[in-house]
Amino acid sequence: MPEYVRPVRYESGVPVYRYWSDPAAPPLSVTRFTLDTQTAHGRPHIHDFPVLLYVYDDGGVLRAGRRNLEVRAGEVYVIAPGQVVDGSATSTFANVCGLFFDPAALGDDGRIPRPAWNAHPLLFPFLHGNPGGLLRLQVPAQRRPVWETTIDAIEDELSSRHAGYRQAAAAHLTLLLVDVARLAADVVGDLRRSNEAVLAEVFDVIEQRFGEQLSLSDVARTVGLTPAYLTTLVRRRTGRTVQDWITERRMTEARRLLTGSELSITEVARHVGMLDPGYFTRVFRRANGMPPRAWRDRVTAA
């Protein structure tokens, strides 16, 4: 996995990895897997962010639950956040490329609310719910050169870091996700069933009220469900709790304010619904790997 992917917790003994945002780099990385690749993550694990695997050449297997899937050239694997993925067979890959990204890569200055994947036309395929967390798609032969050229372009932008590279890399990623959404349309056409409507309502409440003192009970009361049922539903469909999503939205806004305003740390905390600046600093450090002042200083120096 790329350097920005780190374990943050365990669920039933399985490590959960998140994509750590860095003010000096876009929330997007490319990793190549070949027979010579040695990975420390070749075991069951969970991502709390989207991952795409593109297969260049035949060779290797992916484990999905109890099944072994032989990977073939031109396949794309959509890896669902929050699902246990068995990475023990990645060392068998002949030539596979992984795209690891935070949904903030698609937003205006990183402001897209990550909970809104089910309503986002390019992110809904990642909520497919398939066993083993894997959705297998086939890129038509005539589109494969486009995929491979686009992946090369992303790598070039990330390595060169010329002016506008963040926007350029995100634009290339968007082109790939448009293809994924089109390929997946028939496979995951049933996503917008009743439970997805509930999720959309939950995330709308978070989006509208994250700047207040918002709790699980407040959200549950607004959508007309019990806190226990809502917790189970959201965790099952997204791999995270309602409180996790509230915190994530607050941290996204906090990073935006630290980057684009001169508000004090106390004022930023208040804008994201956290009245205690000391508590805000602890939560920010836990979520981003550094305190808010260090984040702002790093942005300024970048």
Does 194-301 match 5-184 at the fold level? Answer: no
Burial class (CB in 10 A: 0-12, 13-18, 19+), 91: middle
End-to-end CA distance of the chain: 24
Domain boundaries, the chain: 5-184, 194-301
Q: Which of 258, 254, 256 is nearest to 297 (CA)?
A: 258
pLDDT surpasses 50 at 216? yes
* 8 Å CB contact between 28 and 154: yes
* 8 Å CB contact between 101 and 178: no
Encode pLDDT of 231-277 as tens digits.
998 887 777 789 988 998 898 889 889 988 899 999 999 999 999 99
Residue 109: band (very low, low, confident or very high) from pLDDT cuts 50, 70, 90: very low
* 8 Å CB contact between 249 and 235: no
- Which helix (H) or strand (E) is 29 found in, with range? strand 28-34
Q: Which of 178, 166, 135, 169 is nearest to 150 (CA)?
A: 169
Report the topology of domain 5-184.
Jelly Rolls (2.60.120)
pLDDT surpasses 70 at 55? yes
Encode pLDDT of 116-163 as tens digits.
555 566 777 877 767 677 888 999 999 999 999 999 999 999 999 898
pLDDT surpasses 90 at 19? no
Encode pLDDT of 177-207 as tens digits.
989 988 887 554 444 444 566 777 888 888 8
> Per-residue pLDDT averaged across 78-101, rounded?
81
Q: Which CATH architecture has domain 194-301?
A: Orthogonal Bundle (1.10)
Burial class (CB in 10 A: 0-12, 13-18, 19+), 15: middle
* 8 Å CB contact between 73 and 58: yes
In the DSSP assignment, the letter for residue 290 is: S
